[in-house]
Amino acid sequence: MHDLAPGLSLFDYENEVICGVDEAGRGPLAGPVMAAAVILDPNRPIAGLRDSKKLSEAKRELLAIEIKEHALAWCIAECSEQEIDELNILQATMLAMRRAVEGLSVQPTLALIDGNRCPVMPVPSEAIVKGDDKVAAISAASILAKTARDHVLMQLHETYPQYALDQHKGYPTALHLERLREHGVSPIHRKSYAPVKALLK
């Protein structure tokens, strides 16, 4: 078995150079959508990889450092709020994933994508539902995408502190919606999303 999370025998990808691909930030009202692609080194296994949503923030940050140090290759890419509004969130997510794969310093022979659909790209790909908890390379990509997006939102919080982005990372929480109504729509908000669109009217 190559590149599978411990205990799994669902796939046999011997002789493939696998990159795992995942995204973070489809649901938020503000900020970019991020994607990461990771090719793990089978000779340098990383313990504790799993779906980033099931890890504490501190654990994600530690694993992100380890992934960047031990992986054969990794790349993080994004699509901006403007691109999300122009393309729609699904197509923007697919584009961010493609950018991440194309940005790898090592050419994969197969991309394993978390979810039920694959972006169009030159590398053969396969979608794996709940792949971020099944395939180690997808787990690693999930962690890199999530931590990278959190860092971006903390930076945006410094520019737009009135929206409390440090607390909700752009997701449509009651606090975020309250601050949106109070302060109006900013340049980093996704204007095609219903709660933001409603305020623009």
What pLDDT, on the 0 to 100 scale, is given for residue 6? 44
Banded pLDDT at 12 (limits 50, 70, 90): low
Report the SS3 class of residue 128.
strand
What pLDDT, on the 0 to 100 scale, is given for residue 13? 66
Report the SS3 class of residue 201.
coil
Q: Is 22 marked as binding a ligand?
A: yes
0.75 surpassed by pTM: yes
List Cβ<8 Å contacts ≥24 apart for 114-119: 114/20, 114/21, 114/22, 114/23, 114/138, 114/141, 114/142, 118/94, 119/94, 119/95
Q: Is 14 marked as binding a ligand?
A: no
Q: Is 114 marked as binding a ligand?
A: yes
What pLDDT, on the 0 to 100 scale, is given for residue 38? 98
Residue 8 has pLDDT above 70, yes or no: no
Give the C-alpha separation, 125 to 117, whole Å: 9
Give the C-alpha separation, 38 to 36, whole Å: 7
- Its CATH architecture, for the domain 18-159, is 2-Layer Sandwich (3.30)
Helix count (H) and strand count (E) of the chain? 7, 5
183: Cβ–Cβ under 8 A, 6 or more apart, which residues? 162, 163
Residue 85 has pLDDT above 80, yes or no: yes
161: Cβ–Cβ under 8 A, 6 or more apart, which residues? none
The residue ranges of every structural domain in the chain are: 18-159
